[in-house]
Structure formats: C-alpha cells, structure tokens
Amino acid sequence: MPRYRLTLEYDGGPYCGFQAQADLPTVQGALEAAVKAFCGQTLRVAAAGRTDTGVHATGQVVHMDLDKAWPPETVRNALNAHLARESVVVLDAAVAQGDWHARFSATGRRYLYRILNRTAPSALERGKVWHLKGDLDTEAMHQAAQVLVGLHDFTTFRDLKCQAKSPIKTLDVAQVHWMGDEIRLVFEARSFLHRQVRSMTGTLAQVGLGRWSAQDVRTALEAQDRQACGPVAPRTGSISPGSIMRQG
C-alpha cells in the first residue's frame, strides 16, 4: 500500500477549517471526496497540521495511503481534476519513503500573517489580509515579538477551546517586517496552540498602534491568563506557508 505525500495550496475562505466535519465544507473533506472520485477509495487523509476557518495555505503537507500504486503525477493531476470546483489545489505529489508521516515527520511549522497598513482597503486581496488604517510601528512590534521567542507557557495566547495537552511551546522565530503596503509577521515553531498566531498578532498590533509596550506583552505572557491577551486578529490575514519536514 503506497503512501503519497501531497503539498496543498488552498483559499480557506469557503471552508470551515481543514479538519473534516459532518455536513460542513472543509479542506480535508474536499480532498477526500476527490480521492474517492479518482480511485473509488474511502480514506482519511493525515495532515502536518490543521488550519482554522478561513485560514489559507500555500504549502500544507498531507499524506494518504492508496490501495494501488499510481505514478505521482497521475495522482496530482487526477485529484486536481476532481477539485476543479473547489478552492484547493495539489501542487505536488510524491511517493513517501519508509515510515514518513505528514504529522510526525514535521520538525517545524511556519505561519505568515499579513496586515495591509494603508488608508484604502484591498480590492484584490480582500479576505486574505487584515486591513488596519492606523500607522503601525513595525520596529516596536518586532522588538516586542522577541519577548515571545523561546520556551514559554502560552496560556495567554491559547484559545479556550484548544485541545492541546499542554500550553507549553517553544516559539523559534517571530519576525515583523514591511513589504510594500503590508506588514508581515512570520512565526516558526514545532507546533502551535489553537489560535496562538492570531492571538499573538493581535497583541503585537496593539504595540504597533502605541497602545501596548514590549513590557506589556511580557506581563501578558507571564500572566498565563487568556484574559490578559490583546484583541485576537481576524482570520483573514492568516496563511500557513507550510511545514519543515523530515525527508521521506
């Protein structure tokens, strides 16, 4: 039974997140329906991570075990044909080697959050950026973000419905920089808590607007209290660029 590694790109707008849910449109549901249409097999796709409702992806890694061996390009092309009416595309397909697993072989995950910081909203990127009109101090945001780097109890930045066993995570990278009219926030970690990225982003935006200081962020982090978190950023600007994977 060959295992196929797939790299996905999708617009999360039409979906209630990645994970399959009964009677709700999801990315996983769309992909599994395409697999069944392609080869008649009913299966469960395993993913490197899950995304929330409305969150987009440019490099989501998943795997599936098929009953029959197919050339990888056939798998990719066939799935894309059956996904033609969906907002999901298979960018790449390959045969996985050994014990490679989409979730357990992931050594890191990256998230990008885009803030459009100008007076006018976007016509072309609506639903994919967070539009903030006020001038944001990106240097202050970047410096405050460094408070979050390292091993911490991230309870403050953890959604109350988070199912993770522990709030303790290691944030490896937190960067804030300009790109054109956008402020881009990049976070890297082995794994994230539910809505951790959006919670951190919303808090850092308060720093950019001059309402919070880096010390306020530290105080909120050390409080280990969800009530200490700043406003949570909307899902529209959140993108999962992909996972850092062990080869296989």
User: Is 117 found in the same domain as 100?
Assistant: no
User: Is 236 found in the same domain as 143?
Assistant: yes
pLDDT score at 189: 93
Say how many domains are in the chain: 2
CATH of the domain at 208: 3.30.70.660
Question: Exposed, middle or buried: residue 151 (CB in 10 Å: 0-12, 13-18, 19+)?
Answer: exposed
The residue from 11, 23, 52, 92 that is catalytic is 52
Q: How far apart are CA 112 and CA 87, in angstroms?
A: 19
User: Is 42 found in the same domain as 85?
Assistant: yes
Decide if 244 contacts 107 (C-beta within 8 A): yes
User: Is 7 found in the same domain as 68?
Assistant: yes
Of 88, 104, 120, the residue that ends a domain is 104
User: Is 114 found in the same domain as 49?
Assistant: no
Provide the residue range defining the domain that includes 39: 3-104
Question: Exposed, middle or buried: residue 225 (CB in 10 Å: 0-12, 13-18, 19+)?
Answer: exposed
User: Is 81 found in the same domain as 172?
Assistant: no
From first to last of the 248 residues of the chain, give the pLDDT tens digit.
899 999 999 999 899 989 999 889 999 999 999 999 999 999 999 998 888 888 889 889 999 999 999 999 999 999 999 999 999 999 999 999 888 998 888 778 889 999 999 999 999 988 889 999 989 999 999 999 999 999 999 999 999 988 889 999 999 999 999 999 999 999 999 889 999 999 999 999 999 999 999 999 999 999 999 999 999 999 888 776 555 445 44
How many residues does this entry show for the chain?
A: 248
- What's the whole-model pTM score? 0.84
pLDDT score at 50: 80
pLDDT score at 245: 44
User: Is 111 found in the same domain as 230?
Assistant: yes
Decide if 60 contacts 113 (C-beta within 8 A): no
User: Is 235 found in the same domain as 179?
Assistant: yes
User: Is 126 found in the same domain as 229?
Assistant: yes
The answer to whether residue 23 is catalytic is no
CATH of the domain at 85: 3.30.70.580
Of 104, 133, 152, the residue that ends a domain is 104
Phi/psi of residue 58, nearest 5 degrees: -115, -5
User: Is 197 found in the same domain as 170?
Assistant: yes
How far CA 164 is from CA of 54, 103, 226, in Å, comes to 21, 15, 15
Of 80, 104, 128, the residue that ends a domain is 104
User: Is 132 found in the same domain as 58?
Assistant: no
